[in-house]
Structure 1
Amino acid sequence: MIRSVITAIVMVAATAVALVSPARAAAGEVYVALGDSAASGPLVPNQVLPDLGCWRSDRNYAHLTARAIGASVFRDVTCSGADTRDMYAPQGTDLGSVPPQLDALSADTTLVTVQIGANDVGLTGFIEDCLNLLPPPVGDACNDDYVVNGQDSWRVKTDALRPKLTTLAADIRARAPRARIFMVGYGTYAPPNGCYPRVPIIPSDANYVRATLQYFNRMLAEQAAAAGIGFIDLQTPSVGHDPCAAANTRWIEPYVPASPAAPFHPNERGMRGFADVVIPAVSGA
């Protein structure tokens, strides 16, 4: 979900990671993970080669899922800043260009997860735009900035993404006809009324951010159903683990992270929590 240049990689000594419970999966699973920074895990240790410019962690939910299901082949091509165009064309990163993500698919692929779309509509920039260090009347609310001619511009952008996701699902199926395909939603980024000033988004804006993300996730679920592929809900299980939660509880970091992660992105705890949702979903448990 991020497209701005990250100026330094935060490398943290590896710590013991609780192993996810093994899940039953078909022998010889060939798993391909597609997506943006919500899937790649920017700044979550450890950042891995190749494609360092994608800010990809070896502890993102896709890596944890691959280990848990015992995938015989695993290709993680998730990349920070990716949008639907980068499924089909090379993506420029801070450290060079990477191939189109769909190139990772093959006829023998048996499992695909794809988490994409937030950058198409600019959701991270939208959340950051709603940050307000001073409450009204000094600071301005952001929620009314996005209503143009009586229409919510974020919902217009979200609805415009629908046909692109339908096409993407069909193109994944064409390249990987044997695969079980799952579209992955996005987590919870704000509780009701937020938690101003701990996360400096005033209550009305926090509710607007929350409603916007809920609408976006509903759209993803609807498009997945229309395309005949699975949908994995990360919004519901991450309730109570949003950026307003305590540092030892939250799965998504606030604008000033307390754990190695990009602002408003999953931390290592969040990736483990998301993996605990993805693993049973993809394995049929």
Structure 2
Amino acid sequence: MARTGLAGALACGVLVTAVGIGRYLTGGSDGGGHPPQGPYAALGDSFTSGPRIPDQTGEPAGCDRSSRNYPALVAKQLGINAADFRDASCSAATITNLTTPQSTDDGTNPPQLSALTAATALVTIGIGGNDIGFSTMVAKCVTSGALFKAAAGVTNISGQAPCKERYASGDADAVARKIRTAGDHLARALNDVKHRAPEARIYIVGYPAILPAEGAGCGSDMPLAPGDVTFLRETERQLNTMLRDRAEAAGATYVDTFTPSIGHDACSAAATRWIEPLRPSSPAAAVHPNERGERGMATAVLRAVGP
């Protein structure tokens, strides 16, 4: 989502084969027959680009693209050659950056839809988190949780949600409004995608599970109040629901990465997590997919694309 993860907000293996793909997912392919062999355009934010995952590649460098992000793994598995693969993803991208240039700390990324042509056969899009300020929200909730837990006299924090009280109260739910607005923007962008690449199969890639179902397992690496873990997880699910709804309305395919990533969140064990916590133990941005997570997301995309 945000560039290099929460750093801005707060200041390898081989891809599994088709035989193993099914055990990570529920549901089937989109029925499109043989997967497209390219050209393939990958669009999205930092959950797509893979900041800090080696090796960082591509231009501009400020987009933080990894040679092992899920688009690169999908292209490799489908046998798409380098000339037919365009990775336009960029850290901190919003839906607006699909159609407008994006300035980074190291160069300007052209509008991501410029990667599309009439010949494009496959498009993946993973975006929307920055439109609702999710990374900033997580950062502030972590800070609120740390302060709350350290407050004198606090002995029972079960069910407490100091951050939720800040972001969503009563009818004035700014988060829900932002999700609805992002959905409207995405709908217009998808119309543009279909106009530029009328023959392409389009896949909207959802976000993997960042936090567990309950906050009890989150320690010092993610010092969230338990109630805020629930609030943030529900916010992410609402975001993914919007992405699914907009994909279906546009005739695109939604790729569920949330379900296969359950149990691999930022509060899970370092040896199995897909998402790094606030203090990463693997080369990846804070509260972003590590290489294991990108492989898992690639598997989900391949399962959706077909055999």
Q: Is the pair's TM-score, using the shorter chain for normalization, greater than 0.5?
A: yes
Whether 1:271 aligns to 2:294 is yes
1:242 aligns with 2:238: no
Q: Counterpart of 1:18 in structure 2: which amino acid?
A: V
Alpha-carbon distance in 2 for matches of 1:6, 1:209: 15
Distance 1:28 1:188, change over 3 A: closer
In the alignment, the residues of structure 2 paired with residue 114 and residue 154 of structure 1 have an alpha-carbon distance, to the nearest angstrom, of 22
- Matched letter for residue 117 of structure 1: G
Select 1:254's aligned residue among 277, 280, 289.
277
Q: How far off its partner does 1:147 sit?
A: 2.5
Question: What residue identity is the alignment partner of 2:14?
Answer: A
Conserved? CA contact 1:20–1:68, under 8 Å: no
Alignment-mate amino acid for residue 190 of structure 1: L
User: How far, CA to CA, are the matches of 2:79 and 2:124 in structure 1?
Assistant: 16
Corresponding residue for residue 197 of structure 1: 219
How many Å apart are 1:87 and its aligned residue? 0.8
Who is 1:2 aligned against? 2
Matched to 2:219, the amino acid is P
- Secondary structure of the equivalent of 1:155? helix
RMSD over aligned CA atoms reads 2.1
The 5 A counterparts of 1:99-118 are 99-118=110-129
Equivalent pair of 2:15/2:299 in contact (CA under 8 Å): no
Structure 2 unpaired stretches of 5+: 20-32, 155-160
TM-score by length of 1: 0.91
Q: State whether structure 2 residue 49 is matched by structure 1 residue 40.
A: yes
2:14 pairs with 1:18: yes
* In 2, Cα distance between equivalents of 1:28 and 1:111: 8
In structure 2, C-alpha distance between the alignment counterparts of 1:258 and 1:229, rounded to whole Å: 36
Aligned length: 276
CA distance in 1, matches of 2:251, 2:96: 22
Matched, 1:126 2:137: yes
Q: For structure 1, which segment, 26-35 or 50-59, has the greater mean C-alpha deviation from structure 2 after superposition?
A: 26-35
Instruction: Provide the residue aligned with 1:10 in structure 2.
Output: none
| Separation in 2, partners of 1:214, 1:204 | 15
Task: Report deviation, 1:107.
Answer: 0.5
1:71-114 Cα distance to aligned partner (Å, 9 max, x none)? 14110010001001111111100101111100000000000000
Structure 1 stretch displaced more, 24-33 or 101-110: 24-33
Tell me whether 1:145 sits opposite 2:166 in the alignment: yes
Aligned equivalents of 2:102, 2:297: Cα separation in 1: 26
Q: Deviations over 1:133-155 (max 9, x none)?
A: 24358288111101355232111
Q: Which structure: greater helix fraction?
A: 2
Whole-Å Cα distance in 2 between the matches of residues 27 and 158 of structure 1? 31
* Counterpart-to-counterpart distance in 2, 1:215 and 1:227: 18
**1:64 corresponds to 2:97:** no
User: Is 2:70 aligned against 1:74?
Assistant: no
What is the SS of the residue equivalent to 1:114? Answer: strand
Question: Which residue number corresponds to residue 218 of structure 1?
Answer: 241
Q: Does 1:172 align with 2:186?
A: no
Identify which of structures 1 and 2 has the higher relative contact order when contacts are C-alpha pairs closer than 8 Å and 6+ apart: 2
Does the 8 A contact of 1:81 with 1:119 survive in 2?
A: yes
Structure 1 spans left out of the alignment, 5+ residues: 8-15
Distance 2:239 2:6 in 1: 26
1:198-227 per-residue CA deviation (whole Å, 9 max, x = no partner) reads 320110000000111111111110111111
Q: Residue type of the partner of 2:69?
A: N
| Alignment check: 8 A CA contact 2:3 2:46 kept | no
Instruction: Say if 1:149 and 1:28 are closer, same or farther in 2 by CA, change over 3 A.
Output: closer
Is 1:22–1:68's contact at 8 Å kept on the other side of the alignment? Answer: no
Letter in 2 for 1:169: L
Identity, % of aligned pairs? 42
- Calculate the TM-score normalised by the size of structure 2: 0.85
Cα deviation code 1:40-84 (max 9, x no counterpart): 000001100222110000000000000000114110010001001
Q: Judging changes above 3 Å, is the alpha-carbon distance between structure 1 residues 173 and 261 closer, same or farther for their aligned structure 2 residues?
A: same
Residue 25 of structure 1: CA displacement?
4.5
Alpha carbons of structure 1 residues 3 and 47: separation in structure 2 relative to 1, 3 Å? closer
The answer to whether the Cα contact below 8 Å between 1:193 and 1:202 also exists between their aligned partners in 2 is no
In the other structure, the counterpart of 2:203 is 182
Q: Is the 8 A contact 2:6 2:286 kept in 1?
A: no
